[in-house]
Structure 1
Amino acid sequence: MNALLDLVLDAHGGLRRWRAARTIHAEGSIGGLLWSLRGQEEIFAEADITADVQQQRLVFEGFTDPGLRGVFTPDRVVIEQKDCEVLADRNAPRDAFAGHRADTPWVPLHALYFAGYAMWNYLTAPYLLTRPGVVVEELEFWREPDEDWRRLRARFPEALATHCLEQVFYYDTAGLLRRHDYAPDVLGGTPAAHFSEHHVRASGLVFPTHRFVVPVQDDGRAASEPVLITIDLADISVT
């Protein structure tokens, strides 16, 4: 395994603990400009999330209504009642973004797919990088004003629902995730920088509790605005 990835896995709780984990639960809020641009403002203002660790599946309890939940898997998204009665669903949900422009409005199933795969990726990283078919390599240092960050470039298999096939992860000297660059295919491939802060330990694993996403400038530096997405999590637990 890559030496930097070994350091990163240890910093986030260790590979053995990640392999033993079954679910991650978190509560919080997901906001930012993106949701209002797509006509889905405050759809995740109160987010109750449970992610399966060993497979791509994530559930938002109270999705669009306190009595409903949204279920993401790569091949299908579902809005259902608590008794599992399906109210709306979509197979091959990624195909529903074809031809979208920056101002194309979404319906809740679009938001469920995008937030579902994104949050699953975020919550399971860095264990995400050990999945079959993922190839990582260390890049040159990235210089910040007060610290050099080490970087991993990851190439993902097409079968994995993620932002795009190639992404870059930035880590501080302790091995903690600080920045994550990607260009989401479902948003037209515009480069973005996703920053992670305020890490906490929960059930032996380490997670950032504050995240925000901004555009990337031509020189690779992050713009200060607009803030496209914010993620604030609390009450994180692992089973």
Structure 2
Amino acid sequence: MSDLLDKAIEAHGGWGRWQEIEGITADMSAVGLWHLKGWPDVLKAVKVEVDPHRQHAAYSPFLKAGQIGLFEGNRTAIVTGDGAVVEEQQDTAQSFGGHSLMTPWNVQQLIYFTGYAIWTYLTTPFLLRTPGFRLEEGEPWEESGEVWRRLKVEFPENIRSHSRQQSFYFDDRGLLRRHDYSVDIIGGSASANYTTEHKTFGGIVFPTQRCVYRTTPDNHPILDRAVVAIDIHKIDLT
């Protein structure tokens, strides 16, 4: 078995420290894809709270002051600060049939994509050690004068994410540099998510900037325009 995941987990702070964490809170902004879906600037300045050990993400303020956008895997909801449900939906994943990049989202679809995406990003690479994930080290990848080791991952069916098959690229230190996937809910758009500006918060290393580009059939990014840009300004761990 490849030692790559062990190296990556150690480089990002270690499994022991990760197991001590009960919550992740990030101040962030994200732009790009959302304007195509009818929600421009919805994440321009938000706080997101993530459970590192189960699929749970909560954005606030969401659409207006006092509201929270809640993602819990099969369930999405808008709730108030005291937990009252404004609206909710079960099995939101099933509502994306026939969608393409230009198909607008309703509010529950917005919460679903935004929730699973940031949960995946903030828990990588640690989530890959949890039950149900199948991993295989692929051929090394050369880019920007560096050689990155590549981990090919099959996600379990119970974990909501971009696609079942994803690839993670790590540099010689073990830090995540690129993350590839096909976004199934918008028709399978192949994407390369580049991670930079790695910083340490509470003993865990997180990339604080992400830029996502569409890719060519030979796996190279189309750099003329980022599909998504994410900036994380601060992270607190509990």
Query: TM-score normalized by structure 2?
Result: 0.97
Q: Distance in 1 between matches of 2:188 and 2:219?
A: 15
Cα deviation for residue 103 of structure 1 reads 1.8
Identity of matched residues, %: 38
Instruction: Supply the distance in 2 between the matched residues of 1:89 and 1:150 (Cα, whole angstroms).
Output: 41
CA distance in 1, matches of 2:122, 2:101: 26
User: Corresponding residue for 1:211?
Assistant: 210
1:172-211 paired onto structure 2 within 5 Å:
172-211=171-210
Provide Cα deviations, 1:92-119, integer angstroms capped at 9, x if missing partner.
0101111213321112211110010010
Runs of 5+ unmatched residues, structure 1: none
Q: Does residue 1:42 correspond to 2:38, yes or no?
A: no
Whole-angstrom distance in 2 between the partners of 1:116 and 1:150:
28
Aligned to 1:62: 61
> What letter is aligned with 1:229?
V
Counterparts of 2:107 and 2:41, CA distance in 1 = 11
Count of equivalent residues: 238
How many Å apart are 1:31 and its aligned residue? Answer: 0.6
Q: Distance in 2 between matches of 1:131 and 1:73?
A: 18
CA shift, 1:2, in A, is: 3.5
Bigger mean CA deviation after superposition, 97-106 or 206-215: 97-106
The list of structure 1 runs, each at least 4 consecutive aligned residues, that deviate by more than 3 angstroms after superposition, is none
- Spell out the pairing of 1:4-83 with structure 2 (5 A cutoff): 4-32=4-32, 34-83=33-82
**SS in structure 1 opposite 2:140?**
strand
**Residue 40 of structure 1 contacts residue 107 of structure 1 at CA under 8 Å; is this kept in 2?**
no
What letter corresponds to residue 76 of structure 2 in structure 1? V
8 Å Cα contact 1:215-1:225 kept in structure 2:
no
Q: TM-score, normalised by structure 1?
A: 0.97
Residue type of the alignment partner of 2:188: G
Superposed counterparts of 1:77-116, under 5 Å: 77-116=76-115
Distance 1:190 1:55 in 2: 26
Compute the displacement of 1:82 (Å).
Answer: 0.9
Opposite residue 213 of structure 1, the aligned amino acid is V
Q: How do 1:150-189 and structure 2 match up within 5 A?
A: 150-189=149-188
Tell me the secondary structure at the aligned position of residue 175 of structure 1. coil
User: What is residue 142 of structure 1 aligned with on the other side?
Assistant: 141
**Letter paired with 1:89:** E
Cα deviation for residue 85 of structure 1 reads 1.6
Q: Aligned-pair distance for 1:226?
A: 2.6
Give the superposition deviation at 1:9: 0.3
Give the AA of the match of 2:91: A
Cα distance change, pair 20–70 in 1 and its aligned pair in 2 (3 A):
same
Partner Cα separation in structure 2 for residue 199 and residue 59 of structure 1: 23
Measured in 2, the distance between the counterparts of 1:111 and 1:120 equals 14
1:107-133 deviations in Å (ceiling 9; x for gaps): 221111001001000000001101111
Question: Within 1, Cα distance between the matches of 2:109 and 2:216?
Answer: 27
* Residues 181, 191 of structure 1: 8 Å contact kept: yes
- SS of the residue aligned with 1:29? strand
